[in-house]
Structure 1
């Protein structure tokens, strides 16, 4: 339903970045992350500083086990919005998974500082729980 709505919006206005981002989100919810990345790339091509498109692209790449691409997209997200707690949290997970524990701990501490609810999430995450002090 949301995919159809996004497609309709794109048909009416193909240069509408929000519609492309919404299409990507709908595809991601359907576990079609590869197609979602293509939609996010279109949104980013139309509006290069679109934080949500960069973040959603990072999450989809993370889901696709493409850590290098995900890291680049998280970095761009955080360049545009340095206090994006979920992006910091997810980047911490990437760092932890690649053995970069100092970077992971730094991102995790900042994420929890910005959003204390992420502390409980981290405690139940096997990659991040050891970094919680």
Structure 2
């Protein structure tokens, strides 16, 4: 196939699978982050937190000039609210979750699964 040929269209099933795997990876990273910096709850709690924080990020990040800062504060605020932590510990959960997501995504890339992200973990 020539390099300029269009690739096959991505179907709805592929998009849903990518979304689900990305959400599970984000939940796993948040779950790992809470084990490092706070009292962890169950994995399902982390997956819901990842979804809510991804929604907060998606709504605020496009705002011109301050969007990234507002989105980051909102992301930490969601973690703070869901885990009943202070701002500092919520930020620590975020850093630990980001590090865990980077490791998981690198491992998936080595396995040839590079089309997923860590939904709910900014920058990963």
TM-score (norm 1): 0.26
More helix by share: 1
TM-score (norm 2): 0.27
Query: Relative CO higher for 1 or 2, CA cutoff 8 Å, sep ≥ 6?
Result: 2
